[in-house]
Amino acid sequence: MEYRFGETGGVPKPSIDPVRWQAPPVDPLPDLPPADITLVPVPGGEPEDVVVDADGALWTGALDGGIVRLQPDGSRPEVVGNTGGRPLGLTFARDGRLLVCDSPKGLLAMDTTTGRFETLIDSIAGRSLKFCSNVTETADGTIYFTESTTAFTVGDYLGAILEARPRGNLHRLDPDGTVTTVVDGLYFANGLTPTADGSALVIAETQGRQLSKYWLTGPRTGSVTPLAVNLPAMPDNLSTGADGRIWCAMVTPANPVADRLAAGPPLLRKLVWNLPKPLQPKPEAVVWIVAFDPDHGDTVAGVRTTHPSFSMVTSVAESEGRLWMGSIAAPYLGCVDLAATAL
């Protein structure tokens, strides 16, 4: 891959190889209620994903590499470990370890008592796992994880969006250590969560603006079917609610200008990529989460609002009547009352 030097500190920045791409259409979702948001500071800032352990404690990964544990009410944040990279998607394994997707470190497992990390996967088929995005473990000990793109790390995620190439994947890590790519050609694979009955995994494609089901059981085993398509925003991390609903963080609304740019000459996107960062397009700042029915993809709950200090929601998790939200635009977790999300 070619590299060019960026504006700050001579840090190598990868070039991009964009193609013309037709973005999906936009289908509106039902109007969603606003909600009062409580903010909880997180050491290290920008908590991308948030998960809940068996005792109700909250766990998140910060911009500075820290893995932070908070009490169920969001109090007493404690840095338990540090990946040395950028932790993204998290989940708890059956053995109690915290599985961590890190860019560019790969797929890690952390002992939550000692804070020590073990690298599970850092390369696939001889290439580095640069952008491990989200992870889950099934009841038989099989681990599935998404790779947003094979070409970039999270620090250059905009390059993947501007390229508009389907370089995302879903991988399976078997208990014996075998790694298999089970779905490829995804447009920025991101969130991943099992359905409540364990029959399928739900996958979010951020650029593709859709949720799909990868079937684990039944006559459709190994196939992919759509769940919610033509979304009006870019879906990020996913989680499964207590009643089986699929919670989705909508990081930013679809941008008609960006969609037109994607369909136009690739050279224009190269020019955008070479602009100084302050001049590059900025995502619209909203707080947007949606719950989808796991069978039909209908919207069943959610929140859409704005907040002066919180936006770009990247994750959402239920706990004790609350919804906790992560963000890559704020040094906080956000919290709303679950009851306030009803339609």
Cα within 13 Å of Cα(150), Cβ side: 18
Q: Which residues of 276-297 are buried (b: 16+ CB within 10 A; e: fewer)?
A: eeeeeeebeebbbbbbbbbeeb
pLDDT at 11: 63
| pLDDT score for 244 | 98
Percent of the chain with pLDDT over 90: 94
Which pLDDT score is estimated for 13?
Answer: 84
DSSP string over 72-132: TTS-S-EEEEE-SSEEEEEEE-TTSPEEEEEETTEEEEE-TTT--EEEEESEETTEE---E
Cis peptide bond N-terminal to 14, omega within 30: no
Is 105 contained in some domain? yes
pLDDT confidence band for 317 (50 / 70 / 90): very high
Assess if residue 32 is contained within a domain: no
pLDDT score of 85:
98
State the CB neighbour count (10 A cutoff) for residue 63.
15
Residue 304 confidence (pLDDT) above 80: yes
If pLDDT is split at 50, 70 and 90, which confidence band does 8 have?
Answer: very low
pLDDT band at 9 (very low <50, low <70, confident <90, very high): very low
pLDDT grade for 292, boundaries at 50, 70 and 90: very high
The answer to whether position 10 is within a domain reads: no
pLDDT score recorded for residue 282: 87
On whether residue 172 sits in a domain, the answer given is: yes
Cα–Cα distance for residue pair 89/297, rounded to 1 Å: 23
Q: What is the pLDDT of residue 3?
A: 31
Q: Is residue 302 part of a domain?
A: yes
**Mind listing the pLDDT tens digit for each residue in 325-336?**
999 999 999 999
pTM of the model: 0.96
In a domain, 220, yes or no: yes
Q: Average the pLDDT over 171-186 and give the result.
A: 98
Residues 127-136: tens digit of each pLDDT: 999 999 999 9
Per-residue pLDDT reduced to its tens digit, 83-128: 999 999 999 999 999 999 999 999 999 999 999 999 999 999 999 9
Within a domain: 124: yes
Which pLDDT score, from 0 to 100, does residue 281 have? 84
Does residue 27 fall inside a structural domain? Answer: no
Residues in the chain, overall count: 343
Domain that holds residue 172: 38-340
The domain spanning residue 75 has which CATH number? 2.120.10.30
What would the pLDDT profile of 44-70 be if each residue is shown by its tens digit? 999 999 999 999 999 999 999 999 999
Mean pLDDT of 138-152: 97
Domain count, the chain: 1
